[in-house]
A and B are shown apart, each in its own frame.
Chain A
Amino acid sequence: MLKDITLGQYFPVDSVLHRMDPRFKIIFTMLFIIMLFAGNSIWTLVLGAVFVLMAQLLSKIPLKMSWKSIKPILPILVFTAVLNLEFISSGDVLWEWSFIKITEGGLQTSVFMICRIILLIVGSSLLTYTTSPILLTDAIEALMSPLRKIKFPVHEMAMMMSIALRFIPTLLEETDKIMSAQKARGAALDSGKLTQRVKALIPILIPLFVSAFRRAEELATAMECRCYRGGEGRTRLRQLRAEKRDYIGLFVCLVFLAASIVLNVLHKV
């Protein structure tokens, strides 16, 4: 049952966005986030929406998937909306009841905030939908490589991330086995009060940890046997290569960013 959990959010179809250089896709996402948060007018949101829609169409990711990524943050959206409605008071009062007062300014801000968060989530989840976790790790390693100059362990971090990804399914399988074994000995895992259920997790977590440490040690030996000695002098099978489409993408992103800055300035005047 635990096996059904999919790893990451990667949605494998063949599209332009899927084939793009993952380093560029990370940069696009960052530029997009800057664009959303630097803008303070409704027009930047419209611009953002156009951008997301364009990317969505290029990625061939069904809209249903985007809804799936918004669903978990619905409580946050509601919370933001309520907070903004309640605490921002400017403009005409629209509705009032005891201490609750909804003003026009408050309504505007909360709609604005919700739209911004939705765009943020939909836009940035396109990155994880179109890029496999390994490519993402590779790209993060490549983008962070300048940090090596200040002795930041970039390679080690990327290696840790990819090993974590590699072991998630293995450890899930193991958890499944341990749960079955403990159930066979009469452990009641899905009944009882919350405190009892939490306590019932201990006999699962302890063997899981012990085995994870054992695995880690064996893996370390196996890696040493295959001449692993850190990132120095290491080459890669897969080379990240920027192509024409990546530069076109970058150009489009910069145009959007510039447009939103211009709109911002105009709006202020």
Chain B
Amino acid sequence: MHFMDEMITATHLTFRYPAEEEADEQYENPRILKDVSLSIERGSFTAVLGHNGSGKSTFAKHINAILLPEEGTVLVDGMDTREEENLFSIRQKAGMVFQNPDNQIVATIVEEDVAFAPENLGVPPEEIRRRVDESLKAVGMYEYRNHAPTQLSGGQKQRIAIAGVIAMQPDCIVLDEPTAMLDPQGRQEVLETIHRLNREQGITIVLITHYMEEAAQADRVVVIDDGRVVLDDTPEKVFSQVDRMKELGLDVPQVTELAWELRKAGYPISPEIITENDCLSALESLLEKESIT
């Protein structure tokens, strides 16, 4: 069945924040999401790009029913987010990791924090213990299980937050700019962790980001601008539209830009270059051809 392969399905999703009570009745907040239709396949790794205020975080918050659509529907594993009784099943299915690791860690001890979600779900103690150990091993933080979160680095804290979500045994993890507050090493740790979870456990990943290099590693890139999906394709196809991306106020990976400039200068190089290795081999063959002629 085609339907079952879709983890998340948004149809004609429109959203605006409700007007404040004391505000003028005529006044309505601007629409943040405008008719977004998007479906995300089970087991895929999708990056959502967009500059600040594009609506990408608002979209993320619709996936686990923190925000509910004004019009249209969001289905998570076939469950409508507007149905009250689905709320906790949806939140358990689609976990969410936020930008600031300090503001999502609840407990004073690492393993206690990872246990928080299964405790809320009423999982029996022995099973919680098993899940906590497994989740901490999955993010490579098992040896830190008795540490206080304040003793850890940003990247480590963010991995604890990810472990806290994995302990719910979700099918999907939505990460809202999880690396924005981290140093390069922390970013690397977090990205490696989510790629491994995607590869090894088949967890669907939706990564909201504004780092092009992170998006380049995804299976699919969705670009949101002013509340609409404007581009939606493989990273190669999206980033090769360098002009369009610049128009949207977004960058492309440096290597893509290099290839693009070379092409403009008349060299026969593929526009779909997004990794350093691709770029290197393309440049190599280009140089070989040049030396022959």
Contacts and interface: CB of A to CB of B under 8 A. Distances in A.
Contacts of B119: 234-237
Nearest to B120: A227
Contact of B98 (A165, A218, A233): A218
A238 B111 CA distance: 10
Interface in B135-192: 148-150, 164-165, 168
A218 B125 contact: no
B103 A222 contact: yes
Contacts of B108: 133-134, 162, 165-166
A262 interface: no
Interface residues on B, range: 35 or more
A226 B165 contact: yes
A223 B66 CA distance: 11
B132 A234 contact: no
B106 A238 contact: no
A163 B106 CA distance: 6
Contacts of A218: 98, 100, 103-104
Contacts of B115: 236-237
Contacts of A14: none
Nearest to B88: A227
A170 interface: yes
A225 B64 contact: yes
B106 A166 contact: yes
A268 to B, nearest CB: 49
B122 A233 contact: yes
B120 A222 contact: no
B107 A166 contact: yes
B135 to A, nearest CB: 12
A219 interface: yes
Contacts of B150: 169-170, 173
A215 B66 contact: no
B136 to A, nearest CB: 12
Contacts of B96: 222, 225
A156 interface: no
Given A226-B116, A227-B91, A237 B103 contact: no
B102 A223 contact: no
Given A134-B109, A225-B96, A227-B91, A234 B104 contact: no
A239 interface: yes
A228 B120 contact: yes
A266 B109 CA distance: 51
A176 interface: no
Interface in B72-124: 88, 91-92, 95-96, 98, 100, 102-109, 111-112, 115-124
A225 B176 CA distance: 13
Interface string A153-183: 0000000001101100110010000000000
A8 to B, nearest CB: 10
B104 A238 contact: no
B92 to A, nearest CB: 6
A133 B107 CA distance: 11
B36 interface: no
Contacts of A226: 91, 95, 106, 116-117, 120, 164-165, 168
A221 interface: yes
Return the 10 tightest CB-CB contacts between A and B, nearest first.
A222-B104, A237-B115, A218-B103, A226-B117, A169-B150, A227-B120, A225-B96, A233-B122, A237-B128, A166-B108
Given A166-B105, A218-B100, A218-B104, 13 more contacts: A134-B108, A165-B108, A166-B108, A218-B98, A223-B116, A224-B66, A224-B91, A225-B66, A226-B116, A227-B92, A235-B118, A236-B115, A236-B119
27 contacts: A134-B108, A134-B109, A134-B112, A162-B106, A162-B107, A169-B150, A218-B100, A218-B103, A219-B106, A221-B66, A221-B98, A222-B103, A222-B104, A223-B106, A223-B116, A224-B66, A225-B95, A225-B165, A227-B91, A228-B120, A233-B122, A235-B122, A236-B115, A237-B111, A237-B112, A237-B115, A237-B132
